[in-house]
Amino acid sequence: MRLLVAAKEHRERRKLSLRTIVQEAGVPISTVQAMMNDTARRVELDDIGRLCEWLPCEVGELLRLEYIPDAQ
């Protein structure tokens, strides 16, 4: 997500703070923080849609699936 935000900053010639992203995209701050830090485990589908629309991007550009086997 960091790369997508950086691209939007470049296109729009402005710096996007965490607060700006939350307000403009309409997504909870915890979701944005987790996405920016690559620590998100679950994200609401509505939030993914809002972020994709706001950035703009496709879901596959925003998310990367990493399979983590169950530790047993």
Q: What is the pTM of this model?
A: 0.85
Percent of the chain at pLDDT > 90 equals 83
Closest of 26, 70, 72 to residue 47, by C-alpha: 26
For every one of its 72 residues, what pLDDT tens digit does the chain have, with 9 covering 90 and above? Answer: 999 999 999 999 999 999 999 999 999 999 999 999 999 989 999 999 999 999 999 999 999 877 777 766
What lies within 8 Å, CB to CB, of 16 at 6+ separation is 5, 8, 9
DSSP secondary structure letter of residue 40: -
Domains of the chain and CATH, by start = 2-60 (1.10.260.40)
Residue 31 CA to residue 8 CA, distance in Å, equals: 18
Span 28-47, pLDDT tens digits:
999 999 999 999 989 999 99
